[in-house]
Structure formats: structure tokens, C-alpha cells
Amino acid sequence: QQQVKQSPQSLIVQKGGIPIINCAYENTAFDYFPWYQQFPGKGPALLIAIRPDVSEKKEGRFTISFNKSAKQFSLHIMDSQPGDSATYFCAASRGTGKLIFGQGTELSVKP
């Protein structure tokens, strides 16, 4: 019940495409859902986060869609660029405690 399941494991898109990464959770007590971007050899960087009382949030080219009834949320990257090539992790937490991470999606944006 503590797991967060992420898919796909890897994703290849052309420049300008809209990659979509999906996550599902079981624990309905989770109340904070962030997405992190990680480049090789670096720590994860917080991209965008959402609370369950909101169905969508946009920050620049990044959008989170949240479906509370389905217990799913997804990240969309608009107008993707080669510089967006990285590993993306979804996560969930309850309160200010530990983050439970998904398994990660390796995104490659081709020029």
C-alpha cells in the first residue's frame, strides 16, 4: 500500500513532442505528489507538485494531471526539448514525512 507505480520505464520522443509519464498509488492518505527530474550523476531536482484537491497544475512547459478517484497522476512535458532528456520520478507523501518514489522513467528527446 506504500508503493507508487510508474510507467513507462523508458520513453523516446521527437523534439516538440509531448511525453506523458504515469503514476498510480494505493494509499489514500497521501496528500502531496511531486515530480522530480534527475540528470546522470546529479541529485533529483523538484519540478512541480500537486495536492489532491486540484485536478491540474501547470508550471511552464510541465503539467500535472491528477485523478483522485482513479488514484493516478501524470506528468506532461509540452514542446519537449533535447535538454529535457533525463530520468523523471514521481513521488507521494503524507504530511511532511518521507517521500515514496516511483521506479523512474528515462526520457530521451531526439533532435
Partner 1 sequence: ETGVTQSPTHLIKTRGQQVTLRCSSQSGHNTVSWYQQALGQGPQFIFQYYREEENGRGNFPPRFSGLQFPNYSSELNVNALELDDSALYLCASSLASGREQFFGPGTRLTVL
Which residues contact partner 1 by CB under 8 A? 6, 32, 34, 36, 41-46, 49, 89, 91, 93, 96-104
In the complex, least distance from residue 66 CB atom to partner 1, rounded to whole angstroms: 15
What one-character-per-residue DSSP string does 91-110 give? EEBSTTSPPEE---EEEEEE
- Min separation Cβ 83 and partner 1, Å: 19
Distance of alpha carbon 102 from alpha carbon 23, whole angstroms = 7
Strands 45-50 and 56-59: unpaired
CB of 93 vs partner 1, minimal distance in Å: 7
